Amino acid sequence: MTTAQQILLLGAISIGSAVVSLALVTVVLVRLPKDYFVDTKSRTLHTHHPVVRIVLMILKNLLGLVLLVGGIILSLPGVPGQGCLTIFLGIMLLDFPGKYPLERAILRRPAILGTINRIRAKFQKEPLEVHDP
């Protein structure tokens, strides 16, 4: 493979990852209920069998980790994509102590919340509600 072909391949991968990350971020942000960050009780996995609940929790956390790492990569200079929003989605999926205050602290940043609400507005969704503690 020549250098020109390698550059074209890397460019195609870069553009493809930007499109996929933007689509994924958009779908998740549009589907969130407007009070998702207000009511933390409805954010648990509801299933009757403990094995299914554990498997789903592990898969959810793995996806969150992938999104977190992918968002960090997308945040690097020269890599196109929605890095900050992808990191935020990864954090939303992960389970760790102090997660809810961290999410709210991130959302209190006007640039993040404004971007999320602009995306939601394009799909006729109400803005996210975020209450200060």
pLDDT band at 123 (very low <50, low <70, confident <90, very high): very high
Q: What is the pLDDT of residue 98?
A: 87
- % the chain with pLDDT above 70: 89
Is residue 79 pLDDT above 80, yes or no? Answer: no
Q: What is the pLDDT of residue 59?
A: 92
Q: What is the pLDDT of residue 43?
A: 58
Among 4-18, 53-67, 94-108, the range scoring the smallest mean pLDDT is 4-18
| Residue 131 near residue 99 (C-beta atoms within 8 A) | no
Q: What is the pLDDT of residue 42?
A: 54
pLDDT band at 120 (very low <50, low <70, confident <90, very high): very high
Q: What is the pLDDT of residue 47?
A: 65
Q: What is the pLDDT of residue 108?
A: 84
pLDDT, tens only, 22-48: 788 788 888 888 888 876 665 565 667
Q: What is the pLDDT of residue 51?
A: 87
